[in-house]
């Protein structure tokens, strides 16, 4: 199976938060492979052929999460920093 990210969970967060990347052909060990958030390398806490746990890097901004194995990049999956839900935001005027 080709190198691919199937899912990033959660799809939004803040620096220091752990995310789980599920996919195919990551390799059984990390070796020199990397995970990046919009080009910023992440600290990987666990690695298997189908699942990676990584910490959102301090300098990360909204963009694609990519896994690079032996110089080959996976597809990118959008990760938003920080999370904004429909009920979050400033109260401009309260009646």
* Per-residue pLDDT tens over the stretch 28-75: 999 999 999 999 999 999 999 999 999 999 999 999 999 999 999 999
- What is the pTM for the complete model shown? 0.87
3-state class (DSSP) for residue 40: strand
Q: What is the pLDDT of residue 84?
A: 78
Q: Which domain holds residue 33?
A: 4-79
Is there a contact between 54 and 35 (Cβ–Cβ < 8 Å)?
A: yes
In total, how many domains does the chain have? Answer: 1
Residue 68 maps to a domain: yes
In a domain, 71, yes or no: yes
Q: Is residue 92 part of a domain?
A: no
The answer to whether position 88 is within a domain reads no
CATH of the domain at 24: 2.60.40.10
- What is the torsion angle, in degrees rounded to the nearest 10, for the CA atoms of residue 82, residue 9, residue 63 and residue 33? 130
For the chain, the residue count is: 95
Other beta carbons within 10 Å of 26 = 23
């Amino acid at each position: 199976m080709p190198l691919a990210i199937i899912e990033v969970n959660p799809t939004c967060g803040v620096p220091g938060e752990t995310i789980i990347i599920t996919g195919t052909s990551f390799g059984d060990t990390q070796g020199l492979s990397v995970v990046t958030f919009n080009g910023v390398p992440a600290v990987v806490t666990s690695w298997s052929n189908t699942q990676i746990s990584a910490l959102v890097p301090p300098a990360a901004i909204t963009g694609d999460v990519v896994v690079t194995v032996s110089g080959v990049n996976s597809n990118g999956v959008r990760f938003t920093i920080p999370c904004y839900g429909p009920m979050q935001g400033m109260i401009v005027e309260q009646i």
